[in-house]
Amino acid sequence: MFNFRRKEVPWEVVNSSTVDAVPMYYEDEGIHQFLPDLEIAFTGQSNIRGTYVFDVSSGTKVPELRRVIEFARQQLLQRIAKKGYNILLLEGWQLTVYRRGKEHRIEVQYTGRPARAFGKLPESRSPPFTAVLETCY
């Protein structure tokens, strides 16, 4: 009558790092002074977040974690482009490493405030505060 599930071993949190959404272009620098050819047409009303999960080998190092965060950022930029935005004014991320037996998994939640900008867009910037990973892993 009732089918019982086999007991699945749950994922254990090994480590977690969070960087709250921070401005990528500071007011005191002046976005127009820093990027004189850039004009912000409109911004999103709220932050947008994407969650990305990666199965990885057990020996994951800091450079690989950085690449995972950068990949998540690129995925979020592609997602906002479909909605008519082309830049993130605020950016932040949360990275969680899980373990289940010999399996390892990384979950990245990347968040940002999308905006539509006209003019010369800045070079692709790296995600904020990835140096935090050096102290955690």
The per-residue pLDDT for range 83-131, each reduced to its tens digit, is: 999 999 999 999 999 999 889 999 999 999 999 988 777 677 788 888 8
Helix (H), strand (E) at residue 133 = helix 132-136
Top-confidence range, 60-64, 79-83, 86-90:
79-83
Residue 29 has pLDDT above 60, yes or no: no
Beta strands of 24-137 (E only): which ranges?
38-43, 48-56, 87-100, 103-119
C-alpha triplet 27, 32, 36: angle, nearest 5°: 150
Coil, helix or strand at residue 29: coil
- What's the rounded Cα separation, in Å, for the pair 56 and 74? 19
Q: Is the pTM of this model over 0.85?
A: no
What is the mean pLDDT of the segment spanning 69-79? 95
Residue 28 has pLDDT above 80, yes or no: no
What is residue 78's predicted lDDT score, i.e. its pLDDT?
96
Higher pLDDT, 50 or 25: 50
Per-residue confidence at 17, pLDDT binned at 50, 70, 90?
Answer: very high
Q: Please, which pLDDT band fits residue 135 given cuts at 50, 70 and 90?
A: confident
- Top pLDDT among 25 and 113 is at 113
Between 122 and 78, residue with greater pLDDT: 78
C-alpha distances (whole Å) from 40 to each of 7, 36, 137 are 53, 11, 37
